[in-house]
């Protein structure tokens, strides 16, 4: 083997390793140096040193495998070589790994559009008394059954579906986005009109267009994510009942659903997962006759109508119109961040209630500020009366069969959205005539986009409930 250095090294290393193995391992650290001396002989330049090559560090804490009994035994030559390899190989390699991992995560985050699924509560959202005392208890009971209550009360029979119906503008999406943000859930919103009545499968490849395909992919993304998800299907009156049937097994005790991910069919088992399904629809549109929910799906749902005045909660429903519109008017915006009990007192003051005094308010209002606030609130209460009357007329008309009608359908709405639009135009110095004109102008504008069967205006006259 003369001249064959690799073979010589292999032979010497095997020979000396076998010798070291016969002992208690005390010479293991000297093995590389012994191999080098054997191969190089007297030709290797070396210098003797009296310095100690070993040391013991005491009193260490940690679980590193080199630490035994809080002691670390080191050899200077081996430690220096290991530190050099760590600095020149491991550290650069780890940093390159972090860079590639970050680039891959960013690319996948962009591909999956994860930023779209973070619940973002509107800056103008106001948590009102109706929400606290009526909606949240109802919705909370359903979500507890779907997600499983926390702690000792955690349910194992997770099932169900939350179905919200109302005319547009009553805050169904805003409400669920707020709940998702409070519960720390990923909010996957599927747009019903983008799906359309043609989509009947959860396979993105069968979608008729790119927009519908994107919405179908959202459904499969929610199923693939599996846990900590609120899947929200909006405006389901625009979707096919055949598509909605796919959710039946997901909303019962089976908690399973078929899906397609990356071109492959999958059966998703969501038992025990924090996964909730909510659907929202508007049965009061001109196409309300197409609002069809499969019976077996409706049987698994808790249905709540946010448009109707809930029994016994008329006052809270009416007050919610005022509370939700606070941020639309610059004079009332500060009230949205103050003690909520003040608002009820201010409303009573605006109505001329002699049983309320300004000194009962928790916030120290100046006389000028209080006069401005009360002036705007008085006008808001006038607007509230008109909008609530429109709400009742709209829902009553929508619930009437065409064969039973004695007059054209009433299509002007009385939603939170209408209340906000009118509130933002109120100024403290406005008189009653100007206020009535503003209300008339608003509903004249609303009527321009309606069909010929709609009533053209809704003035503050007694026939519209405003007088």
Q: What is the per-residue pLDDT across 318-340, written as a single tens digit (0 to 9) for each?
A: 888 898 899 899 999 998 888 88
Q: What is the DSSP letter of 90?
A: I
Mean pLDDT of 233-250: 90
Mean pLDDT of 91-98: 96
> Is residue 382's pLDDT more than 90?
yes
pLDDT for residue 287: 47
| Distances, alpha carbon 364 to alpha carbons 11, 322, 336, 339, 405, in Å | 93, 21, 15, 11, 54
Mean pLDDT of 121-150: 77
Mean pLDDT of 333-357: 88
What is the rounded distance in angstroms from the CA atom of residue 300 to the CA atom of residue 279? 12
pLDDT for residue 124: 59
186-204 residue pLDDT tens: 999 999 999 988 999 999 9
What is the rounded distance in angstroms from the CA atom of residue 175 to the CA atom of residue 369? 31
> Looking up tokens 């399904």, which residue turns up?
277
**Among 70-74, 111-115, 276-280, 433-437, where is mean pLDDT lowest?**
111-115
Confidence of residue 378 (pLDDT cuts 50, 70, 90): very high
The angle at the Cα of 228, spanning 226 to 230, to the nearest 5 degrees, equals 90
Mean pLDDT of 289-315: 74
Strand-pairing partners, residue 74, are 55
> Is residue 313's pLDDT more than 90?
no
For CA atoms 307, 313, 315, 320, the dihedral sign is negative
3-36 residue pLDDT tens: 788 888 899 889 888 888 887 766 777 788 888 8
> Is residue 216's pLDDT more than 90?
yes
Helix, strand and coil in the chain, % to nearest 5:
50, 10, 35
Across the beta sheet with 229-234, the strand order is 186-191, 229-234, 275-281, 161-165, 301-305
Q: Which residues contact 87 (CB under 8 A, 6 or more apart)?
A: none
pLDDT for residue 220: 93
Strand-pairing partners, residue 281, are 165
Which phi and psi angles does 191 have, rounded to 5°? Answer: -85, 110
Confidence of residue 89 (pLDDT cuts 50, 70, 90): very high
Helix (H) or strand (E) holding 388: helix 367-398
pTM, two decimals, is 0.68
> Is residue 460's pLDDT more than 60?
no
**Among 272, 259, 283, 265, which Cα is nearest to 188's?**
259
> Which domains occur in the chain, in start order?
116-305 (3.40.50.300), 314-464 (no CATH)
Q: What percent of the chain has pLDDT over 70?
A: 89
Q: Give the alpha-carbon dihedral of 343, 346, 348, 351, to 10 degrees.
A: -130
Confidence of residue 102 (pLDDT cuts 50, 70, 90): very high
Mean pLDDT of 243-259: 89
H helix intervals, 166-233 = 172-183, 192-195, 210-225
What is the rounded distance in angstroms from the CA atom of residue 212 to the CA atom of residue 363? 51
Mean pLDDT of 94-110: 93
Number of H helices, E strands in the chain: 16, 9
> Is residue 376's pLDDT more than 70?
yes
Mean pLDDT rounded to a whole number for the chain: 83
Q: Identify which of 9-13, 121-125, 393-397, 408-412 has the greatest average pLDDT.
A: 9-13
* Cβ-contact 212, 316 below 8 angstroms: no
Q: Which residues contact 23 (CB under 8 A, 6 or more apart)?
A: none
pLDDT for residue 414: 85
pLDDT for residue 461: 39
């Amino acid at each position: 083997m003369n001249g064959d250095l690799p073979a010589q090294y292999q032979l010497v290393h095997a020979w000396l390793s076998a010798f070291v193995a016969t002992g208690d391992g005390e010479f293991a650290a000297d093995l590389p140096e012994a191999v080098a001396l054997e191969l190089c002989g007297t030709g290797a330049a070396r210098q003797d040193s009296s310095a100690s090559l070993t040391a013991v560090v005491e009193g260490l804490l940690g679980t590193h495998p080199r630490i035994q009994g809080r002691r670390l035994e080191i050899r200077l030559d081996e430690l220096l070589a290991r530190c050099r390899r760590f600095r020149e190989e491991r550290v650069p390699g780890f940093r390159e790994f972090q860079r590639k991992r970050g680039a891959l995560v960013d690319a996948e985050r962009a591909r999956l559009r994860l930023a779209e699924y973070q619940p973002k509560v509107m800056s103008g959202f106001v948590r009102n008394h109706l929400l606290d005392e009526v909606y949240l208890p109802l919705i909370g009971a359903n979500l507890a059954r779907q997600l499983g209550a926390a702690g000792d009360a955690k349910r194992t029979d997770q099932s169900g579906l939350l179905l919200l119906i109302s005319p547009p503008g009553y805050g169904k999406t805003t409400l669920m986005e707020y709940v998702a943000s409070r519960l720390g859930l990923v909010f996957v919103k599927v747009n019903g009109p983008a799906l359309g009545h043609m989509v009947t499968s959860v396979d993105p490849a069968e979608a008729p267009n790119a927009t519908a395909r994107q919405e179908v992919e959202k459904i499969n993304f929610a199923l693939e994510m599996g846990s900590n998800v609120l899947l929200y299907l909006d405006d389901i009156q625009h979707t096919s009942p055949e598509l909605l049937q796919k959710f039946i097994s997901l909303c019962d005790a089976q908690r399973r659903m078929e899906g397609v991910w990356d071109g492959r069919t999958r059966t998703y088992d969501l038992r025990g997962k924090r996964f909730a399904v909510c659907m929202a629809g508007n049965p009061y549109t001109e196409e309300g006759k197409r609002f069809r929910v499969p019976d077996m799906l409706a049987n698994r749902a808790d249905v709540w109508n946010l448009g109707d005045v809930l029994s016994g909660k008329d006052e809270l429903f009416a007050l919610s119109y005022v509370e939700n519109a606070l941020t639309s008017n610059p004079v009332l915006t500060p009230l949205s961040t103050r003690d909520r009990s003040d608002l009820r007192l201010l409303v009573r003051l605006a109505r001329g209630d002699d049983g309320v005094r300004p000194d009962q308010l928790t916030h120290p209002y100046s006389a000028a500020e209080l006069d401005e606030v009360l002036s705007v609130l008085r006008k808001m209460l006038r607007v509230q009366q008109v909008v609530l009357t429109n709400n009742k007329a709209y829902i009553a008309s929508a619930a009437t069969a065409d064969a039973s009608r004695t007059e054209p359908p009433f299509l002007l709405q009385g939603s939170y959205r209408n209340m906000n639009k009118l509130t933002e135009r109120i100024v403290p110095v406005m008189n009653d005539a100007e206020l009535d004109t503003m209300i008339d102008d608003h509903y004249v504008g609303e009527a321009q986009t309606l069909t010929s069967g709609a009533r053209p205006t809704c003035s503050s006259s007694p026939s519209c409930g405003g007088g």
